[in-house]
Structure 1
Amino acid sequence: MSSLALSRRSLLAAAAVAAGRLALPSSLLAQPATNASGRFPICTFVKYLQSLSFDELGQTIAGLGLKGIEATVRNKGQILPEHAEEQLPKLVEALQRHGVEIMIMASSINRVDQPWTEKVLRTAAGLGIKRYRMDYYLYDLNKPVADQLRELKPVVKDLAALNRQLGIQAVYQNHAGTKYVGAGLWDLHELLEGIPKEEIGVAYDIRHASIEGGQTWPVTWNLMQPHLAAVYVKDARWEGRKVQDGPLGWENGVVDPAFFKLLLKSDFNGPISLHVEYLEKGTIEENVTAIRENLVTLRKLLNQTA
């Protein structure tokens, strides 16, 4: 892509941010990217902004009033794993120029014997990145699930040991779906038993927990407290037998606002990652606007009385 096209796209993204800021009440503009108590640093997942240059990304995120991102350093990400040693320092430097940091690094890592695991994690830890999101484990439903969990335990323990050695924390996101390990969260609790959350914790995704658990999400939220390392927020609703993603606070959305009251009452004080998943085919400008609008909703939910 030409530098002219990138510059035009960057200007359009900045214009979208600026237009949105002008439309917001001054009370909201003055708010930092935390709730009123300052407990929760907020970042946003940049999957649909990753075609921006590093500097454009930093400028865009800072324009939204955010201090952090969930970066994509993975297969099909903004940075490929094999290029992390060279490119990740450049991304960190570009973000820092705009007062932005990588709060979570979305990765393709879920075991120590992958080709780039140690190099990526050593590079990230050396740059001060505190946590990375693991890739998912998948069940083979033609085999006993319990046996597969037993086979995964030493894999997870080996990865936890590497994290301890390097001084970086992994987080595993619960993800709704037929074959995902952790979709129901009870299996994830078993898998991580005995592993300190400082080595491998859970990124509790309320959208996925609500899709899989229906009205029982308070049970899995309770269950995950000893493992809790991050919180992911987004929303969806059922359209017949299919799930349709949409904005946080969506009418008839599956995410109960009561979740945020429980979050405020909890002891958790880690990062919240805002995910905007419903504009996969949207432009950069449309996704920037969606992040801005969802961020307003998130801040309102986090300013409820606990």
Structure 2
Amino acid sequence: MNYLWSVFTKPFAELPGDELGRLVAGLGFTGAEVPVRDTAFVTPSTAVKVLPEFAEQLRAEGVEPISIASDLAESTFEAAAAARVPMIRVMADLGPDGYAASVARVRGSLEAVVGYAAQYGVQVGVQPHHGKYVSSTLGVLQLLDSLPPEHFQLVWDAAHDALAGDAPHVTLDLAKDRLGIVNLKNVKYTATEPTDDVGGAWKPWFVPGPEGLSNWSAIFRQLENQNWTGPICLSGQYSDPSVPIHDRLRTDLEAARRAAGEI
């Protein structure tokens, strides 16, 4: 299959576009998701002006921007459209008012930007995330139900799918009509300090691809079965900082391409 091998550039968020493009290309990637956040080179307040040139600098180095991780303000849609970036990635956060109320609130926020998505031709991608977010593929699909699929997509995530206890051949198949990006990272559980609680003394620990709960080979078998050729985005998230992230990403890209049958 002909995948666009991409990387989430959050670890290098402070770099300008030309430097980032050279770095990403040097690691072996031809695509990138760019954070547009207050802590990044491109911020929400500067995106309309800065993002188009930033995206062209990436393209000049052979790196195609697949998405931005940002908010759903109209100015973000405007910036993405001007930069020819096809998607804004978000997550569905859960507040103290509980799951049902949180989902209703997030659903309302998505419904409020249907017009922006159509006007600017920029999709919204919603990613499951373990913890204080809608954490499963099925939960996100339910959240997106009846919203126009040409504008609202699922960003499937290998690690968070595994943390939800799901299997990729099930969730990828269910998501096939809304599948926009496949995030590739891996995770396992590690013990935390014991407490007086009965059980539960574990936390997620993000690891290189071959070491975690998610079976990357099974993911690519399912994607091949679905004839899916969209972007694969390595998230660059690792809990152990002792190995430079550049080395981790090179190794995981090689592992991913091997799982995809390209090596």
Is the pair's TM-score, using the shorter chain for normalization, greater than 0.5?
yes
Match among 12, 25, 44 for residue 81 of structure 1: 44
Aligned to 1:153: 107
Match among 120, 123, 126 for residue 166 of structure 1: 120
Q: Percent identity?
A: 27
| Deviations, residues 18-64 of structure 1 (Å, cap 9, x unaligned) | xxxxxxxxxxxxxxxxxxx31x2111011112233322111111222
Q: Give the AA of the match of 2:173.
A: N
Q: Report the CA distance between 1:142 and its aligned residue.
A: 4.4
Tell me the secondary structure at the aligned position of residue 191 of structure 1.
helix
Aligned to 1:300: 258
Q: Give the AA of the match of 1:267.
A: N
Q: Report the CA distance between 1:217 and its aligned residue.
A: 4.5
Q: Report the CA distance between 1:94 and its aligned residue.
A: 1.8
Aligned to 2:94: 139
Q: In 2 relative to 1, CA 288–80 (structure 1 residues): closer, same or farther, beyond 3 Å?
A: same
Aligned to 1:125: 81
Tell me if structure 2 keeps the 8 A contact 1:85–1:120. yes
Q: In 2 relative to 1, CA 96–218 (structure 1 residues): closer, same or farther, beyond 3 Å?
A: closer
Which of these two proteins has the greater Rg computed from alpha carbons? 1
The structure where helix makes up a greater share of residues is: 1
Q: Report the CA distance between 1:154 and its aligned residue.
A: 3.1
Q: In 2 relative to 1, CA 140–154 (structure 1 residues): closer, same or farther, beyond 3 Å?
A: closer
1:273 aligns with 2:233: yes
CA distance in 1, matches of 2:117, 2:33: 19
Q: In 2 relative to 1, CA 50–282 (structure 1 residues): closer, same or farther, beyond 3 Å?
A: farther
Q: Report the CA distance between 1:194 and its aligned residue.
A: 1.2
1:16-31 → structure 2 map (5 Å cutoff) = none
CA distance in 2, matches of 1:282, 1:160: 43
Tell me the secondary structure at the aligned position of residue 225 of structure 1.
coil
Q: Report the CA distance between 1:193 and its aligned residue.
A: 0.9
1:242 aligns with 2:203: yes
Q: Report the CA distance between 1:197 and its aligned residue.
A: 2.4
Tell me if structure 2 keeps the 8 A contact 1:70–1:105. yes
Q: How many pairs were matched up? A: 252
1:193 aligns with 2:145: yes
| Deviations, residues 165-213 of structure 1 (Å, cap 9, x unaligned) | 1101111111111x202x0233322211112222110000011010112
Q: In 2 relative to 1, CA 295–95 (structure 1 residues): closer, same or farther, beyond 3 Å?
A: same
TM-score, structure 1 as length reference: 0.76
1:232 aligns with 2:183: yes
Tell me the secondary structure at the aligned position of residue 58 of structure 1.
helix
CA distance in 1, matches of 2:74, 2:105: 22
| Deviations, residues 99-153 of structure 1 (Å, cap 9, x unaligned) | 222111111x14xxxxxx112211211221111212x23223544x334433433
CA distance in 2, matches of 1:140, 1:93: 37
TM-score, structure 2 as length reference: 0.87
Q: Give the AA of the match of 1:226.
A: D
Aligned to 1:221: 172
Aligned to 1:180: 133
The structure where strand makes up a greater share of residues is: 2
Q: Give the AA of the match of 1:258.
A: A
Tell me if structure 2 keeps the 8 A contact 1:197–1:228. no
CA distance in 2, matches of 1:301, 1:174: 23
Q: In 2 relative to 1, CA 235–192 (structure 1 residues): closer, same or farther, beyond 3 Å?
A: same
Q: Give the AA of the match of 1:249.
A: P
Tell me if structure 1 keeps the 8 A contact 2:48–2:82. no
In structure 1, list runs of 5 or more residues that go unmatched: 1-36, 111-116
Tell me if structure 1 keeps the 8 A contact 2:190–2:205. yes
Match among 43, 52, 61 for residue 98 of structure 1: 61
CA distance in 2, matches of 1:242, 1:152: 26
In structure 2, list runs of 5 or more residues that go unmatched: 192-201
